[in-house]
Amino acid sequence: MEPEFWRKKTLEQLSHEEWEALCDGCGKCCLLKLEDCDTNKVSYTNVACRLFDPETCRCGSYDLRFQLVPQCVQLTPETVRREKEWMPRTCAYRLVAEGYDLYPWHPLRTGDANSVHEAGVSILNQCELEFDVPEDELEDHIVAETI
Q: Mind listing the pLDDT tens digit for each residue in 54-101?
A: 889 999 999 999 999 999 999 999 999 998 878 889 999 999 999 999
Q: How far apart are alpha carbons 34 and 41 in whole angstroms?
A: 8
**pLDDT (average), residues 27-54:** 91
pLDDT category, 119, cuts 50, 70, 90? very high
pLDDT category, 36, cuts 50, 70, 90? confident
Q: How far apart are alpha carbons 76 and 82 in whole angstroms?
A: 10
Neighbours of 99 (CB within 10 A): 7
User: What integer pLDDT is reported at residue 146 of this predicted model?
Assistant: 66
User: What integer pLDDT is reported at residue 41 of this predicted model?
Assistant: 85
* Residue 145 reports pLDDT greater than 80: no
- In this prediction the pTM is 0.89
User: What integer pLDDT is reported at residue 40 of this predicted model?
Assistant: 82
- Whether the CB-CB separation of 138 and 127 falls below 8 Å is answered with no
User: What integer pLDDT is reported at residue 140 of this predicted model?
Assistant: 95
Mean of the per-residue pLDDT values of the chain: 93
Q: Percent of the chain beyond pLDDT 70? A: 98
User: What integer pLDDT is reported at residue 18 of this predicted model?
Assistant: 97
First to last CA, the chain: 29
More confident residue, 144 or 19: 19
